[in-house]
Amino acid sequence: MYKLIILIFLALPFSIFAQTVATGAVFDDSKKSLSIPGVIVRNLYTKKTSTTNVSGKFTIPAKVGDLIEFSSLGYQTDTLYLTNLLNRIIYLPVKTNSLGDVDVRGVKVNSAITNAKDPLAEKYTLLNTGGNLDRKRMKDKVGGLNLNLGYGKYKRQQRKEADLAEKDSYLEEIDENFNEKTVIEMTKLQGEDLKHFLILYRPSVTQVKAERPYRYQYYISRAFAAWKKLTPQERKLQDLPKLKGN
């Protein structure tokens, strides 16, 4: 009996330690075996921070339900929602800059190409501002300036279609990250509560576009904290304001 008490006493500190810290390692997403030292590991709830060592390993005080942020120069910031305190492997993608890869040295301008007329512009009628003036007289009258309003309308339509395509891509991203499955995993909401939560706190395209990459797990956790403060009647309203700062 005495030996049993000693064994329990010796094991107790390790058990407590294991339940109050998160551990793991951080690696490069494109080179899986490349560890990343010096990554800033931050508990967004307790504000405590740590850094990865030369082997990319980290240890930080945390508990289940906390959000852990990983940030490093040259890498995209990522956020981990702790569903348990098992050892984690984190992969950070490298930040990309499409303009940085463009090499403009030695470019020779081809005047035949730059001076070529847009074939689409030929399909539209020039604005005749001179009544019965023919094209030559009109050009003389306005100093050779050809006004092609048809082509301008075509370009505006192209921009409008591009904006709609961009909006659709953001809506698809929101659907993939803010849905019943992801919300249930983090909040355990069910039934009518789940339906109303999804309506009240679905992030807008403007929110997601303003913060790239958008931290959906962090947003859901904040939204759930705000949800728990609402009265049962308020949770059924669909005209509540969004979270402050989002």
Give pLDDT tens digits for 105-160: 444 444 444 455 555 444 444 444 444 545 555 555 455 455 555 667 777 777 88
Percent of the chain with pLDDT over 90: 35
The residue type of 204 is S
More confident residue, 186 or 11: 186
| Confidence (pLDDT) at 243 | 55
Residues 191-203 pLDDT 10s: 888 988 998 899 9
pLDDT given at position 42: 93
Q: Which residue has the higher pLDDT, 233 or 176?
A: 176
CA–CA distances in Å: residue 118 to residues 75, 114, 115, 145, 150:
41, 10, 9, 16, 13
Angle at 127 between CA 121 and CA 130, to 5 degrees: 145
> Strands across the sheet with 67-71, in order?
49-51, 40-43, 67-71, 78-81
Instruction: For domain 17-92, give the fold.
Output: Immunoglobulin-like (2.60.40)
Q: Quote the mean pLDDT of the chain.
A: 76
Three-state DSSP state, 244 = coil
- Residue that the structure tokens 């689409």 belong to: 120
pLDDT of res. 127 = 47
Give start-end residues of each CATH 2.60.40.4130 domain in the chain: 17-92
Res. 45: pLDDT tops 50: yes
Q: What is the pTM of this model?
A: 0.45
Output the pLDDT for position 177. Answer: 94
Lowest mean pLDDT across 34-38, 87-91, 208-212:
208-212
The whole-number pLDDT of residue 3 equals: 54
Cis peptide upstream of residue 213 (ω within 30 degrees of 0): yes
pLDDT score for 2: 53
User: How far apart are alpha carbons 79 and 104 in whole angstroms?
Assistant: 37
pLDDT exceeds cutoff 60 at 246: no
